[in-house]
Amino acid sequence: MSKKITQREVAGLAKVSTGTVSRVINNHPLVSKKAKKKVLRAIETLNYTPNLVARSLAQGRTQNILVEFLDKNPILPSTWQYELPILQGINDFFALHDYSIQIGMHSLDSSSPEKLLKKILSNKSVDGFIILTSWDLDKMFVDALAKTNIPTVFLGNGPYNFEGTPVGTTILFDNYHIIQEAYTLLHSLGHRRIAFITGSENQLHAKLRLDAFREAARKYQEDLPEEYIYYGDYSVNSGTEGIHAFFKIPETPTAIICSNDLMAIGAMRAAKELSLNIPQDISIIGFDDIEVALYSTPPLTSVKVPTYELGTLGARKLLESIHEGIQGETHTLPSTLIVRNSVCRLNDQTDS
């Protein structure tokens, strides 16, 4: 840091004790106006700034929180687009509350759960912990984490399907209702043959989206042939393959919901290869609303995830957890369907 000036020197100049200086700095009520003024002037002239490390040691807390990104290798650009706004939300909230944020990034692929936690916490002392992941977390990892007693917030995916005492607070975003909303939109536009390209099944939201799709089909009492579900892996390629699979079926679908935008991009590619017009011949909906969605031709209808709000809410809940010990809650933020030109009404065609 920039200074060697300590409270002692301030106290010397202001002709008070270090205790008084400390009180002034911390806005303690029991200081005379006179003393306060003297101290503040001394601080000003010496250009004093408190040593935060010493303060942390004395107080037993660091005012630091750790934001940990837990991903698989390699991290895709679309993941980055999801994560940085969250980080911004966290940052903006904590900036208002005198907390600093540390970050860590680790791969879930490499080491054993306990080792991973050790690595994450090595060389760090923090008052709270935000875990950002869209992958299911290992039970061992969560248990080990619980033992540390550090207040924790999970963003995007949590440990909430584990039995036993709840660990931390979990903030999710809606995957379920919004897929039903997408289905309903297509249905209201006359579509009766709606297919789905699902993503990697070890990601919680992939399961949720698929379940929601199935449930929506059931709700409208529509026939859902198993061929109308293609098991992709969130990559562009698997979207392409999905379309090719669907168009080998006699009863080809008229609309397709993709579990993420990358697969939707792949689907649009494949549709063009098959000389299908979007949306006249086939309506397509994605999920994530990544930048690509906005700039594709036609612009892709997609689900926007409230990333920034996920960050701010997570930060707020962590603070509550640190101060009031609240934990075990799960919150789900609503997502938004952004309708663009990749969907349209089904015309001149016999339904179902």
Partner DNA sequence: CTGTTAGCGCTTTCAA
Partner DNA sequence: TTGAAAGCGCTAACAG
- Which of 14, 23, 38, 99 binds its own copies (CB under 8 A)? It is 99
Query: Counting contacts by CB under 8 A, is residue 297 touching its own copies?
Result: yes
Axis-axis angle for helices 176-188, 204-219 (nearest 10): 40
Residues 6+ apart with CB under 8 A from 281: 254, 271
- Which of 6, 18, 56, 235 binds its own copies (CB under 8 A)? It is 56
Q: Least distance from C-beta 63 to DNA, angstroms?
A: 11
Q: 297 is in the binding site of which of DNA, its own copies, none (Cβ under 5 to 8 A by kind)? A: its own copies
Q: Cis ω on the peptide bond leading into residue 74 (within 30° of 0)?
A: yes
Structure-token pair, residue 220 = 């409208």
Q: Which stretch binds its own copies (CB under 8 A): 58-66, 132-140, 181-189, 215-223?
A: 58-66
Kindly report the length of the chain: 352
Helices (H) and strands (E) in the chain, counts: 13, 12
For residue 75, the surrounding DSSP H or E stretch is none
Contact 236, 78 (CB under 8 A): no
Q: Least distance from C-beta 5 to DNA, angstroms?
A: 8
Structure-token pair, residue 146 = 């619980």
Q: 100 is in the binding site of which of DNA, its own copies, none (Cβ under 5 to 8 A by kind)? A: its own copies
Distance separating alpha carbons of residues 219 and 123, to the nearest angstrom: 52
Query: Counting contacts by CB under 8 A, is residue 278 touching its own copies?
Result: no
Query: Counting contacts by CB under 8 A, is residue 75 touching its own copies?
Result: yes
Query: Counting contacts by CB under 8 A, is residue 249 touching its own copies?
Result: no
Distance separating alpha carbons of residues 79 and 40, to the nearest angstrom: 47
Q: In 3-state terms, what secondary structure has residue 323?
A: helix
Q: Which stretch binds its own copies (CB under 8 A): 189-197, 217-225, 243-251, 288-296?
A: 288-296
Distance separating alpha carbons of residues 251 and 102, to the nearest angstrom: 53
Q: 184 is in the binding site of which of DNA, its own copies, none (Cβ under 5 to 8 A by kind)? A: none
- Which of 15, 28, 37, 147 binds its own copies (CB under 8 A)? It is 147
Q: 30 is in the binding site of which of DNA, its own copies, none (Cβ under 5 to 8 A by kind)? A: DNA
Distance separating alpha carbons of residues 127 and 61, to the nearest angstrom: 6
Q: Which of 19, 17, 118, 133 is nearest to 71 (CA)?
A: 133
Q: In 3-state terms, what secondary structure has residue 100?
A: strand
Q: Which stretch binds its own copies (CB under 8 A): 93-101, 157-165, 316-324, 341-349?
A: 93-101
CA 76, chain centre distance (Å): 15
Q: Which residues bind DNA (CB under 7 A)?
A: 4, 6-8, 15-23, 25-26, 29-32, 34-36, 50-51, 54-55, 57-60
Q: Least distance from C-beta 16 to its own copies, angstroms?
A: 24
Query: Counting contacts by CB under 8 A, is residue 91 touching its own copies?
Result: yes
Q: Where does this chain bind its own copies (CB under 8 A)?
A: 1-2, 51-54, 56-57, 62-64, 75, 77-78, 80-81, 83-85, 87-88, 91-92, 95, 98-105, 122-126, 147-150, 236, 265, 272, 290-292, 295-297
